[in-house]
Amino acid sequence: MEMEEIARWAYILFLGIAILAGLAIGFMAFDAGGFNATQSVADMHAYVLLIMLILGVIIGIAGSITAKEITPFLIATIALMVAGSTGVWSPLDNVEALKILYYFAVAITSYIAAFAAPAAVLIAIKGVLAMAKEK
């Protein structure tokens, strides 16, 4: 298997980890009454964010994104970061029957954004350096 193929599978695996962790921590936060309701939920949330950041750095360093994939990857990352940070999920928190969906959505988008952001930064730097070398 080539390094690019391994990195692509790793990206898919890490994305799955972010979703599963989002479901688990989202349920913990729902059960506790919020991400900062108890120290254990806040700690778990912080640790998962740290792990996602590290996994994003791994993907960024692996360099599985080709030159023609840089722009779509960066646009997708921007969309994920906006969805995770705008508070678009907050109306779900006001409806008691949908409250668990709020915690799932916030956790999943936070973890995916935390995973994608460092990868995007490293890939953007590689893209800029590649453009600089061409001229």
State how far the Cα of 46 lies from the Cα of 30, in Å rounded to an integer.
16
Give pLDDT, residue 64: 67
Please check the confidence at residue 19 and state whether its pLDDT lies above 90: yes
Residue 54, domain extent = 3-134
Q: Greater confidence, 1 or 5?
A: 5
* Mean pLDDT rounded to a whole number for the chain: 85
Proportion of the chain above pLDDT 90, given as a percent: 23
Question: What confidence tens digit (pLDDT) does each residue in 42-91 have?
Answer: 999 999 999 999 988 988 887 667 777 788 888 888 888 887 777 777 78
SS (H, E, C) the chain: CCHHHHHHHHHHHHHHHHHHHHHHHHHHHHHHCCCCCCHHHHHHHHHHHHHHHHHHHHHHHHCCCCHHHHHHHHHHHHHHHHHHHCCCCHHHHCCHHHHHHHHHHHHHHHHHHHHHHHHHHHHHHHHHHHHHHHC
Give pLDDT, residue 1: 62
Question: What confidence tens digit (pLDDT) does each residue in 25-47 have?
Answer: 999 999 898 888 889 899 999 99
User: Cα dist. 32→18, 71, 102, 130 in Å?
Assistant: 20, 40, 14, 48
Please check the confidence at residue 14 and state whether its pLDDT lies above 90: no
Mean pLDDT of 4-13: 80
Proportion of the chain above pLDDT 70, given as a percent: 97
As for how many domains the chain has, the answer is 1
